Amino acid sequence: MSAAGSGAELDVAVVGAGIAGLSVAAELRRAGRSVRVFESLDRVGGRMRTLRRAGFTVDEGAEQISSRGYRATWQLVRRLGLRPPDVPMIGRAVGVWREGRAHPGVGSPLAPLTGAGLSPRARLDLARFLAWAARHSRELDPDRPEHGPLGASTLTEFARRYHPELHSHLFQPLTGAFFGWDPDRSCAAPAVGLLREVGPVSAWRTYRGGMDLLARRLAAGLDVTTGTPVRRVTVDGERARLEVGERTWTARAVVLAVPAPVAARLHANPRAEERAFLQACTFSPMLKVSCALSRPLTPRGGRSLYALLTPRVEEETLAGLVLDHAKHPGRVPPGRGLVSLIASPRQLPALLEAPRQEVVERLTEAGERFLPGLRAARTDAWVHAFPHGLPEATPTALRRRGAFHQRPPGPVEYAGDWVLLRPASEGAVRSAALAAARVLARLGDTAPPPVPFHQS
């Protein structure tokens, strides 16, 4: 320990103020522990951050939650005193682009009848897939995807059971736009389990005032220091050391609530089963450009839509787009529009290194095909880039998750969507409950008084 940190011991330190880190901190506080959260950025939210500019409310990462399959999130919503108007229904459809126009109905129970961009023969196989998923619903456990009937099959391998259009115009565009996945690399089990649990698009909701609503509410009741990157975490016997700037602190427990590649870089001496899983938990980068518009625009054939998927067999630059003004009218000033253009996984990570204006122009040019008049209506644009967007859930990660999950509690724990290989904010919240339970199993529910923190 450095001289600056001598005697400055923490009870529990959480690294990362995304929804996972804030949730685990709140849970530990409720149990009587003293918790301090360190966040490297200047604001909370992580991949659920929201940007506010000139009357526009721009969700930088996550876009929605569901009324179904988000049990941990809804427990948190109720605990924070949020009411139904704070989490309104989106009430719009998701469509897929095919042969020059949008086809609504993706994720609808009526898709086998209405088509959702699929041919009649493919619709029959969609019905067959839905029937299979219903029969195996108990086995498709999104909390333990490694135990299900799909094994470590990739999405591409799983899709071979069905008509090719289910892969080209459903599985690939859905996971490409919302997860940033390459179906040749990512496993079917987490995706199918997640899609089965969250239900139809008609159940999807958003947060009024921005997707960072929960994060802001949680942070208001916690000890959070932003703009404070942690450089290293080391297990030292029954405690852990944190190197924060020029200081070294000791803590009875540390929770690394950051993406797995970041946790692997920060943790100096993880256990073998931890190291193996951390190394296997690769992430898909995500990038989108949000365009403020002088007026709302809609895609051809998509007046009922709030999101449009663009399959890679139809489009090379974009994975999809979100009409934020249709998602919730409060996202824009009256009479204005807002659209978020999601980069195709095939354009990443190259676009992460490109100049901002080049990224804006490339995605806008591609978006013009789906939203005629986009370039002329654009009044401003913001680039949101996440080198660690969402967990890929590769076969290797799936095979190694069991040993990681069964390890005994220790001075360093982990939280994040990657812990469950669930590429959604609910995965982050559920992992927080797991991490808190592991910390409490080791430390109990009483804590010494906190040590004042004075940044130097």
Distance CA 399, CA 383 (A): 35
pLDDT > 90 fraction of the chain, expressed in percent and rounded: 93
User: What is the mean predicted confidence (pLDDT) over 181-194?
Assistant: 97
**Banded model confidence at residue 379, pLDDT cuts 50, 70, 90:** very high
Residue 328: the pLDDT is 96
User: What is the mean predicted confidence (pLDDT) over 6-22?
Assistant: 87
User: What is the mean predicted confidence (pLDDT) over 367-376?
Assistant: 98
Q: Which residues, 6 or more positions from 83, have their beta carbon under 8 angstroms from its beta carbon?
A: none
pLDDT tens by residue, 422-437: 999 999 999 999 999 9
Residue 91: the pLDDT is 95
Least confident stretch, 117-126, 247-256, 265-274, 294-303: 294-303
User: What is the mean predicted confidence (pLDDT) over 27-45?
Assistant: 97
pLDDT tens by residue, 317-337: 999 999 999 999 999 999 999
Residue 110: the pLDDT is 92
Residue 299: the pLDDT is 94
**Banded model confidence at residue 300, pLDDT cuts 50, 70, 90:** confident
SS (H, E, C) 135-194: HCCCCCCCCCHHHCCCCCCEHHHHHCCCCHHHHHHHHHHHHHHHHCCCCCCCEHHHHHHH
Distance CA 436, CA 432 (A): 6
Least confident stretch, 113-122, 409-418, 441-450: 441-450
Cα separations in angstroms, 268 against 235, 243, 454:
8, 11, 25
Type and span of the H or E element at 430: helix 425-443
Biggest CA-to-CA distance, the chain? 72
6-50+210-271+407-443 maps to CATH 3.30.930.10: no
- DSSP-based three-state secondary structure for 257: coil
382 burial level (CB within 10 Å; 0-12, 13-18, 19+): middle
Residue 302: the pLDDT is 84
User: What is the mean predicted confidence (pLDDT) over 400-412?
Assistant: 97
Residue 3: the pLDDT is 31
Distance CA 106, CA 95 (A): 5
Cα separations in angstroms, 372 against 237, 298, 375, 376:
62, 8, 8, 9
Residue 455: the pLDDT is 43
Whether 327 contacts 90, CB under 8 Å:
yes
For 431, the token pair is: 């992992």
**Banded model confidence at residue 447, pLDDT cuts 50, 70, 90:** low
**Banded model confidence at residue 341, pLDDT cuts 50, 70, 90:** very high
pTM: 0.94
pLDDT tens by residue, 353-365: 999 999 999 999 9
pLDDT tens by residue, 131-168: 999 999 999 998 999 999 999 999 999 999 999 999 99
Cα–Cα nearest to 69, from 191, 194, 174, 188: 194
pLDDT > 70 fraction of the chain, expressed in percent and rounded: 96
Q: 71-79 and 213-220 helices cross at what angle (nearest 10)? A: 50
- Give me the chain's average pLDDT, please: 95
Q: Is the pLDDT of residue 456 over 60?
A: no
**Banded model confidence at residue 2, pLDDT cuts 50, 70, 90:** very low
Distance CA 382, CA 389 (A): 17
CA 325, 329, 332, 335: dihedral to nearest 10 degrees? Answer: 90
Residue 445: the pLDDT is 73
User: What is the mean predicted confidence (pLDDT) over 65-90?
Assistant: 96
Please state the domain extents for the chain.
6-50+210-271+407-443, 64-68+86-205+283-392
Residue 352: the pLDDT is 97
Distance CA 15, CA 241 (A): 12
Residue 314: the pLDDT is 97
CA 89, 90, 92, 95: dihedral to nearest 10 degrees? Answer: -120
Distance CA 21, CA 1 (A): 25
- Dihedral sign of CA atoms 157, 65, 356, 312 in order: positive
Q: 64-68+86-205+283-392 belongs to which homologous superfamily? A: FAD/NAD(P)-binding domain (3.50.50.60)
User: What is the mean predicted confidence (pLDDT) over 54-74?
Assistant: 97
For 246, the token pair is: 């020029």
